[in-house]
Amino acid sequence: MSSFRSLLRLTLAACLLLSAVGTSRLLAADVRLESKEDRVTVWLGDEVFTEYIFKGYEKPILYPVIGPAGIGMTRNWPMRDDVENEAHDHPHHKSIWFGHMDVNGENFWATGGNAGTTVSKSVTIDGNTIHSENDLVGRDGKLVASDSRLISFFADGETRMIDYAVTYHASQGDIVFGDNKDGQMGIRMNPHLRIKGPVANGHAVNSTGVTTADIWGKPAEWIDYWGTVDGNVVGIAMFDHPSNLRHPTWWHARDYGLLSANPFGRQDFEGEQAESGDYTLPSGESLTFQHRFVFHRGDAQAAGIDEIYRDWASQE
């Protein structure tokens, strides 16, 4: 298994490197990763871009996430409770995270006594990329499965990007992913980017042209939210890679600031008449998901989100 994972890591690293072909300036010399006891800090020059925090919560998270004009692009709560105009709902919506609601009956999306935990086993850095190995541990303390993650960071002027690849390993027998809307690659946005709520002035569009709250539950290659924060129009785009299971994926995209890509929630999104979204990964096999986050100025059109997506999606 260890030799297999070493090969897998090299393969995923090669894929992420290929994603920068034709846009080599994104592999900025200014991107620097600093390892600490409980996190990896990602620097752009002398400014913090984000931190990968792998201890202290029920799952690893990326927080804070600093975008153009020094704006925090994600909600601060519950990591901080001293920021105004932030809703204190869904405590498991911690900035950027990964996890599904139903993995062999265990909940790796939420937090608390009814949820499992994603436990970091090892974290290493290589250039602009974090490599991590994690155990998915059930409520009874037993190992359910494991995953490997490659997270890479890029900058092109004020535009900042994160490539987030996760590979599930059916290391303890079959993995059954249940049909549920709550999953799996998620981000909870700055409250100004919401479509409704206090201080909300956000807009949203997906790759098929569907807008505002109508994007919920629709399959799409990408979604972009944007709005005005401190006088600056900024946005967040999230991409689903063509190699991902059931691409283009469904999106759990709420008007209160949640955006997540979920290939398993078919009946939740399309109704009980649809085929089940359950999926079984056989014992000993692996399944990889790749996503990109883009933090940009302007709306989706001004930022060229579709062009950025096409370039990224065409590299493999």
State pLDDT tens for residues 22-51.
344 455 558 999 999 999 999 999 999 999
Q: Could you tell me the residue range of the domain that residue 221 belongs to? A: 2-313
Amino acid 30: pLDDT: 83
Amino acid 26: pLDDT: 56
Instruction: List the beta strands (DSSP E) in the chain.
Output: 31-35, 39-44, 47-53, 61-65, 96-98, 117-126, 129-137, 143-156, 159-169, 175-177, 185-188, 203-206, 222-229, 232-240, 250-253, 258-262, 279-281, 286-297
Question: Which amino acid is residue 143, in one-letter code?
Answer: L
The enclosing domain of 189 has a CATH number of 2.70.98
Amino acid 210: pLDDT: 98
For the chain, list residues with pLDDT below 70: 1-29, 316
- Please compute Rg for the chain using Cα positions: 18
How many structural domains compose the chain? 1
